Amino acid sequence: MISLRHLSTTFAARGKDPITAVDDVSLEIARGSIQGIIGFSGAGKSTLLRNINLLERPTTGEVIIDGVDLMKLSTEDLRQSRHQIGMIFQGFNLVNNLTVAQNVELSLKFAGVSSANERRARVAEALEIVDISDKATVYPAKLSGGQQQRVAIARALATRPRVLLCDEPTSALDPFTTATVLQYLADINRELGITVVVVTHEMEVIKALTDHVAVMESGRIVERFAADRLHDKTFAPTTPIGRYLTSDGIHVDRGQHAAAVDAEAAELAVGGRV
């Protein structure tokens, strides 16, 4: 469904060296699968995700969605193609002075659905999918974080996309609410056949939701594995970063000074020893 070929994204910074946020990444994502992308802060996860709908246009490479290279499309064709790709974010990004229904309707207006009746029907359908129809006339500020994210999912689904991109979808939520939101994403994948790409730094999210995992470090995919291997106690990723991310929880040594731990983390981040 998604084929990324030799993608690189470089940000030019005035007076500084350019930053290569995505560095020659190639990745195939099968139709109907859930691909996880994990890595430390600054690894390039969000940039890679935004490359998939050209929200951030890669500097070089090919982004092929269902056989079409988005990089080669005209502005108008790209606008049309983008409606096949929904996106949700850590911060939900709802418009505060619009109701829940109006927020969802807005994406349909942007998608050029001109019939008000059609929009109303699609808003109702999308709110139904995430069981939030009862909040249609409420403003986002009156909702919990989990409810806001469900509205954001409804907004992303209203245009009936074939791909859903999720950037840290549960990082602002407590563990219970996280489980609920992940369940909705799993249902949407299974029942609607939508291909899902989820960027996270939480291994729990990867374990609970995904089929395939790609580990990113310094703009590159350094390792990939099938997510079900995470349930195998003998499984050990081959890269230091993969092993660190799959290790259990955060370790704090109460006899050690933070600066020492910091130095160790810095060494790890530049691909040093573990």
Ligand X SMILES: Nc1ncnc2c1ncn2[C@@H]1O[C@H](COP(=O)(O)OP(=O)(O)OP(=O)(O)O)[C@@H](O)[C@H]1O
Binding residues for Mg ion, rule: CB under 5 A, are 46
Residue found by looking up tokens 């092993």 in the block: 243
Query: Binding to ligand X by residue 47, rule CB under 6 A?
Result: yes
Report the residue number, 133 or 218, with the smaller CB distance to Mg ion: 218
Report the residue number, 10 or 133, with the smaller CB distance to ligand X: 10
Partner from Mg ion, ligand X, none contacting 19, C-beta within 5 to 8 A by type: ligand X
Would you say 11 and 37 are in contact if contact means Cβ atoms under 8 Å apart? no
Q: How far, in Å, CA of 209 to CA of 182, rounded?
A: 7
CA dihedral 93, 95, 96, 100 (to 10 degrees): -100
Would you say 53 and 82 are in contact if contact means Cβ atoms under 8 Å apart? yes
The residue range among 44-52, 110-118, 123-131, 251-259 that interacts with ligand X, by the rule CB under 6 A, is 44-52
CB of 9 to ligand X, least distance (A): 8
Distances in Å between the Cα of 168 and the Cα atoms of 90, 181, 197, 256 are 5, 12, 11, 31
What letter represents residue 225's amino acid? F
Interaction with ligand X in 164-203: which residues (CB under 6 A)? Answer: 201
CB of 200 to ligand X, least distance (A): 9
Query: Binding to ligand X by residue 44, rule CB under 6 A?
Result: yes
Report the residue number, 44 or 237, with the smaller CB distance to ligand X: 44
Query: Binding to ligand X by residue 54, rule CB under 6 A?
Result: no
Distances in Å between the Cα of 3 and the Cα atoms of 51, 65, 78, 200, 254 are 12, 6, 16, 20, 46
Candidates 29, 34, 43, 94; binder of ligand X (CB under 6 A) is 43
Query: Binding to ligand X by residue 21, rule CB under 6 A?
Result: yes
Q: How far, in Å, CA of 66 to CA of 177, rounded?
A: 33
Query: Binding to ligand X by residue 19, rule CB under 6 A?
Result: yes
Query: Binding to ligand X by residue 11, rule CB under 6 A?
Result: yes
Partner from Mg ion, ligand X, none contacting 47, C-beta within 5 to 8 A by type: ligand X
Residues that bind ligand X (CB under 6 A): 11, 19, 21, 39, 41-47, 201
